[in-house]
Structure 1
């Protein structure tokens, strides 16, 4: 058995659907393989070999997609592409364009570390060099994804991004020197700014301590100072600034080491804190003098090449400060509410959603008396939100006094929440260096966000604060929005909110400050948002329509996007990829737009587009609120997924409640990853066809004429190209009592008679087969309508090798269903054991059926141990005939049942990785 055989077999089985539409090729292939496995004609070794080949092929698909998105990859082509976009017109215009970041890139780290380090490296190398991927990199143990691991990978990606930005800055300076030789020294390029929230994001997790955050920031300072020093050494090994910079880097490394230790003991913390806060000639809190010296030297240097590299180093210092980039802290609105009540409403009588609360906070901010703080205050503070402000205060006072810090507020739905954050920023004396940024992500936040922004910007205290900061900062995200209203409605709701911000800023006389909009991209077709090309990827979360609203309001725009976890870091996995990625972005200029382009029909024909949007959103909500959808998505719990991050994928709840698991218990990324694994990206595709019903031609005409409409269609086509309703239905058949009862029918598979009878009897009352059938039927009806719509819309970006990819996924799905059947058969075949610790054999079966396999195996190993007290350990004179070797039966139980279940489960998780790679990302 090999991939070619399975591919041909699946092709044959697909042909049979013309004979009987209900025929399921994926499940039939799984059944064929299961029969061979149980008959001994096929082994788990054989299956593992095929899975390994498919894993390698899927990694190759991932590499091809990565290369396609950013090509060309060679330095000369990227230099030429950037040069072509620069022009040689007015110096002032050139300077204005390149002294403001065209993009802020944030390196975030939610659980998307799907690939091992070796696999990430192999994908990146294959993308850059068109190299073959070696089979030896699959099948090994996956490393535990810790917070430290995530931080290390983030810093590695940022380092490559910094080097790529240096190359672009150097080219910009060379261009300026060649075209404006008398003025070029006046330009200070800043094409990109980088940031990270890895180690600072407290939303939804309690495992990040304040000392983690301070320690990470100190380690980033040490690393960046070392990199600055290395850059200067490369320019001039005898440069007079080197001695000073080496001492500063060494001091920062010493302090980072102090805070890497266990600081739970007040004595240990006191020593580390006192060292950090003490005066020391090596203690550097600002790079301003270093930047001035480098730029002065460059201005007075006769060697133009040396002047360029000196100014490039100064530009890097100006962009990053005393760290690998800027940092984002994040808290939840509820954490802020709890904290502010302690200060201004200890009796809990104030409704923070009321206008009275805003009046109260307005007065409190005006009257606030700034408080000093130290590391002791930070160590004993119980409130998460206040602790974050205290940590920021210590970082700004003792680590980097120049680089501002973002305070992201999740689930922020009231202006009072932002004012609460502003109150604490003023209370601890850091309001001039902290950008408070509300996150609009939930359906409610997006729906009411326009009112929120109108009310917030009407507050004089907020306007004064924003003017001092030079920007209004907000965050719009797809994760929860995309989960609860669908990816397409989320994108359209987000851009309307962005447009409302432009209107509110103009209406409140704030055109003199910038709008910094952080778009966390979200799932769509993977964490990269739009899978078609880089232009679509940048437009999807911040559309040209939204950008034109800011341009017409006279508001400067600072777009910011996330590159998230193992998926996002691939764009910067090598110097070549980093340079290509930033060059594509620099050429596309996502911060700019032509405000005079013809109006997009999608926004003109609101009689069609608004109804279209609402119908899709309503359809998505019906799925979300449907017991059928919820039960199907949670049928296997989270057991279809690998552990891919240090943040838990599931919100805390009773593990015994899997059967009634709510979708809201599963975070957004794993929710979407489950959709990939079940074979149908519901939150991308569902509702598009339904929304066009009865008006296909007119809707299609609008989409074809509209740039935004065509972009939407490209996303839907990309998802639909890999989607399979038959696969969704196939998973339901695993729980079909009739299937198991029929397997040994007419004398076939007699060796499975007992197991199949037990499974059939156990599953006769199980609801999952009906649930999956109903969901598949709903998806099929909607898909038929979608196909009718797409018949009227030309395919602008046909998927290369579409059918090959679909069959590859189909083979992987069939193999996994085969493994699940093997697990079910062996689980039900384990001899009955006595009830212990309130865990029965049926409980263990249900654990296997919901893929809580590790829990099930733990119970089985406890019931059937292989390690016993040995009689030979005793030195006794009296003879015994007992024990007589009966414990050997337990060894056989492990060999025949427990170990195969464990192996089948591990193989199924390798299949999960391969499927995600074909989709292009995890979740």
Structure 2
């Protein structure tokens, strides 16, 4: 560690100690006031004994803790647990702030040298190694990074608790970074005291199990609270770094980031995730992003007060404004005075109409496709074109500073579209197999499909996929489990056909163990009109999840067997010759241990790279990692650099838990 980093770390640790002392004092005052001095005394005794045990490891400290805790009744233990829950939450906040403080200090100290492992340093390394700008542009054009949010399996805290911790964090920020007057600093500490008091009096865990839609809403809080702001900043940093390190080069940065979610789509082991829940989830995603765009359009309109007298306006722009005003039923008076503000009003009105249509829309698989009304946004490109028309006027009048306001909005549209997050559907292979068995028996095609051998299943499925006649009737008379599997595919088809073509893209098969598992899903997709080769349509990627050691070892063989089946090859062609494969870190680690699991994961990625080259297709690896090391957790940058050659190729999907 160099001197500047050492100084930054030392300052951060000192700041952390100050924050911990402040938060600890406020918590102790709260405990004494609301729970009484006896509870505070027990909290202090346990905390001091635990610190002594950690520092010295003396047997008498361990003995004291065990005997003291054994002596407490249930009510006292509950109060102690509450105290330490808040205590550790507050300590974690102080630690996070210290880490951020150290990073900011290092950035300031070594400026203009880029920080280690930053985007700017990565670009600098490429330039220093002689990587030409033209080649880097090609890499960026094909770069595709997709974090996928999953519900955290152990996150039991309520949203209201997380919100209050975030509010405390904001007050610590004010104390750490703003030059507050004494009264202002005291007000910030009083606010923290108030929030700690509320935490003490609030139930920390849910009294009822949350519904799936509650988890969806909690996930959307993350998007609204951070991604909408961070994503444009990241793109801006990338552009400025490229322009600085490769001067004279014009950079056009595509949407290299996309975001996905499993929450509301992952039904493996989650019977509450139904077709209706998936439809509701997609609607929530869309409503969230459309409301955000509406607020952005209104804010933009307040800022773009440019006078028509001071602008050179293309006649086509003015004519388009007048036509839109008539179609939207808006008064055209402002067009001649403040045309850009008027255009923002048009965009806001269109977004409002799009939201109204979404509220009234109930996508049904049996419906025929209907046209989207002309003043409703049907695609992100339509919204983007409206924003670009304003930007073009500003740039044409050398108002480039104002044009950058449009860049932020346009970048969000590029990344989030009209769908916000791509919802992945996941179900276990056993559920598909049971459904196919019942469907084929009811249709009189095969009495016991499940009892067939692997090759017999493949032969039967291959034949069924070439038959023009559907296997599943419109009216379902199956068991609830089979009907739900079918309804899932029909719901996905209805959403993509009638509501949002970008909302769902991937169908993941947990427990994949043979090639027939993928053909079963392709048959179910065909029955729901998701796979229509005669129309040149295959709407979803069908993704095997290899998670056991045996499946990881046989993964390439399973995929190679499918390449001999015409219907599967046709499906891949319609998906631009892309085969995505998900590899699971947790199950293989539990089954065979960390080292053997890590080696199997490494080997399958090498095998998949060879498989892609041999078959002249693209294989994208979806990493089911996160959390503890045993679940594949750890620094993502190091994990990416550790992948075998050919395993990434500019495209990466990775789960982000919690």
Task: With the length of structure 2 as denominator, give the TM-score of the two structures.
Answer: 0.68
Q: Secondary structure at the match of 1:417?
A: helix
Match of 2:447 among 325, 343, 347: 347
The 1:34–1:421 alpha-carbon spacing in structure 2 relative to 1, beyond 3 Å, is closer
Aligned-residue offset at 1:273: 9.5
In structure 2, the residue matched to 1:390 is: 490
Pairing 1:96–2:131 present: no
Q: Which of 30, 47, 66 does residue 30 from structure 1 map onto?
A: 66
From the CA coordinates, give the structure whose radius of gyration is larger.
1
Aligned residue among 248, 253, 258 for 1:193: 258
Residue 286 of structure 2 contacts residue 420 of structure 2 at CA under 8 Å; is this kept in 1? Answer: yes
Report the alpha carbon displacement of residue 93 of structure 1 after superposing the two structures with TM.
3.2
**Cα distance change of structure 1 residues 506 and 30 upon mapping to structure 2, 3 Å threshold:** same
Q: Which residue of 2 aligns with 1:250?
A: 352
Q: Which residue of 2 aligns with 1:560?
A: 653
Change in CA separation of 1:276 and 1:236 when aligned onto 2, cut-off 3 Å: farther
2:235 alignment partner, one of 151, 156, 169:
169
Q: 1:365 aligns with which of 459, 465, 471?
A: 465
Partner residue of 1:55 out of 85, 88, 103: 85
Q: How far 1:248 sits from its partner (Å)?
A: 4.3
Aligned to 2:579: 472
Alignment correspondent of 1:497: 604
CA contact (8 A) 1:412 1:439 kept: yes
The 2-side partners of 1:175 and 1:557 are apart by 19
Aligned to 1:519, what secondary structure does the other structure show? strand
8 Å Cα contact 2:298-2:348 kept in structure 1: no
Question: Would you say 1:206 and 2:206 are equivalent positions?
Answer: no
The CA RMSD over aligned residues, in Å, is: 4.3
CA distance, structure 2, for counterparts of residue 34 and residue 337 of structure 1: 51
Hey, what's the Cα distance between the residues in 2 that align with 1:458 and 1:493?
25
CA–CA distance in structure 2, aligned partners of residues 296 and 377 of structure 1: 53
Deviations along 1:398-443, one digit per CA (max 9) or x if unpaired, are 1112455111111111111112222333343334331111112234
Distance in 2 between residues matched to 1:380 and 1:49, nearest whole Å: 45
Aligned partner of residue 192 in structure 1, secondary structure:
coil
- The 5 A counterparts of 1:362-761 are 362-368=462-468, 382-431=482-531, 432-457=538-563, 459-470=565-576, 471-510=578-617, 513=618, 515-525=619-629, 529-530=633-634, 536-540=635-639, 544-546=642-644, 548-550=645-647, 556-565=649-658
Query: Number of paired residues?
Result: 531
Q: CA deviation at 1:194?
A: 0.5
**CA separation in 1, counterparts of 2:81 and 2:246?**
59
- Alignment CA distance shift 1:61-1:340 (3 Å): same
C-alpha contact (below 8 Å) 2:556/2:604 kept by paired residues = yes
What do the CA deviations read for 1:717-763 (whole angstroms, capped 9, x no partner)?
Answer: xxxxxxxxxxxxxxxxxxxxxxxxxxxxxxxxxxxxxxxxxxxxxxx
Q: Which runs of 5+ in 2 are unaligned?
A: 1-40, 176-188, 303-339, 532-537
- Identify if the C-alpha distance between structure 1 residues 114 and 64 changes in structure 2 by more than 3 Å, giving closer, same or farther: farther
Residues 1:5 and 2:45 aligned together: yes
Q: CA deviation at 1:256?
A: 4.9
What is the CA-CA distance between 1:195 and the residue it aligns to? 1.0
Aligned partner of 1:109 among 141, 147, 151: 151
Tell me, in whole angstroms, the C-alpha distance in 2 between the residues paired with 1:283 and 1:326.
21
Shift of 1:497: 1.9
Q: Deviations over 1:488-543 (max 9, x none)?
A: 54333222222221121122222xx2x3222221443587822xxxxx34444x56
Distance 2:569 2:83 in 1: 59
What's the offset of the Cα at 1:106? 1.0
Q: Secondary structure at the match of 1:305?
A: helix
Are the counterparts in 2 of residues 440 and 449 from structure 1 also a CA contact under 8 Å? yes
1:576-609: CA deviation from partner (whole Å, max 9, x where unpaired): xxxxxxxxxxxxxxxxxxxxxxxxxxxxxxxxxx
2:87 is paired with a residue whose SS is helix
Residues 106-155 of structure 1 show CA distances to partners (whole Å, capped at 9, x for unaligned) of 11114332323344245546667467875432462133433222111111
**Judging changes above 3 Å, is the alpha-carbon distance between structure 1 residues 366 and 26 closer, same or farther for their aligned structure 2 residues?**
farther
